[in-house]
Structure 1
């Protein structure tokens, strides 16, 4: 089972970053794969329904974001329950912000990020039997450098002796 975990770890490490850019490889999933998305209250069973659910999630994401990027933060193996856990971040420019702030040249301040945790459970054949998406939540946005400099100078001026 350890070699199944290692093989699937490598496949997911290459597959997940391109999840929203190209069609996923459904051959790594069992025919009776179960998909649970707590955020969308979605629960499906079977590879065909999994493909439909993934297409729905991809369409929702592309409908909300004008540009979209998925980065894999961590992918860990857990041999005690034959699972792989992936922490990932979805970063993009919301379409409504792009339409309202189209005149801005630097759109980095408009980017929004969402962190999520996915758990992939393997069956005895080394295929994914269950994919569960948990804890989809907004990620803290980074403060741009000019604002940091402005805050630091205001704080220094306030703390300086008269």
Structure 2
């Protein structure tokens, strides 16, 4: 079983980075593969249904992102439960932002990333018997230096001039001779 785990780890290391660019090798999966996708609340059993579910996930991802890229952040073997776990990141420009900001030359500020976690459980033949996808969450994005400077300047102005808006609303106090 250790050998099956090592072989599957190596195959997934080559297969996963191109997941959205080419058709996956469905020979790595057993005929009764179970797909549990907690993101879309999707649960299928059998290779044909798995292929359909993967095609649906790809279509949704390409429908949301332009220039989609999958990056494998970590790929580890776990002999205690005969699984290979992958932490990965989807990166791309959402189509709605691309349509709204088509005039920008530098589209790097429009990039969005989402991190997720997949677990591939193996059967006794060394094929994937279950693929589980968990926790898709936005990846932390680095704030550009110009924005940091702008925020720092806004904070400095707010601290230096307390309650500037209140001065506009308050009337000057009446003099003591107006009684």
Normalised to the residue count of structure 2, the TM-score between the two structures is: 0.83
For each residue in 1:38-59, what CA deviation from the matched residue of structure 2 results, as whole angstroms up to 9, or x when unmatched? 1101000000000000000000
Q: Which has the larger radius of gyration?
A: 2
Deviation at 1:150, TM superposition (A): 5.2
Q: 2 CA distance for matches of 1:103 and 1:154?
A: 28
Counterpart for residue 2 of structure 1: 2
Q: 2 CA distance for matches of 1:144 and 1:74?
A: 26
Counterpart for residue 56 of structure 1: 56
Counterpart for residue 168 of structure 2: none
Deviation at 1:145, TM superposition (A): 3.5
Q: 1 CA distance for matches of 2:14 and 2:114?
A: 20
Structure 1 stretch 6-15 or stretch 133-142: which is displaced more? 133-142
Counterpart for residue 176 of structure 2: none
SS in 2 for 1:97: helix
Counterpart for residue 82 of structure 1: 82
Q: Gapped runs of 5+ residues in structure 2? A: 157-179
Structure 1 residues 59-138: aligned runs within 5 Å: 59-138=59-138
Q: 2 CA distance for matches of 1:22 and 1:31?
A: 21
Counterpart for residue 160 of structure 1: none
Structure 1 residues 28-43: aligned runs within 5 Å: 28-43=28-43
Q: Gapped runs of 5+ residues in structure 1? A: 157-162
Structure 1 stretch 26-35 or stretch 141-150: which is displaced more? 141-150
SS in 2 for 1:147: helix
For each residue in 1:78-120, what CA deviation from the matched residue of structure 2 results, as whole angstroms up to 9, or x when unmatched? 0000001100000000000000000111111111100000000
Q: 1 CA distance for matches of 2:152 and 2:128?
A: 49
Normalised to the residue count of structure 1, the TM-score between the two structures is: 0.91
Structure 1 stretch 137-146 or stretch 57-66: which is displaced more? 137-146
Deviation at 1:153, TM superposition (A): 7.9
Counterpart for residue 141 of structure 1: 141
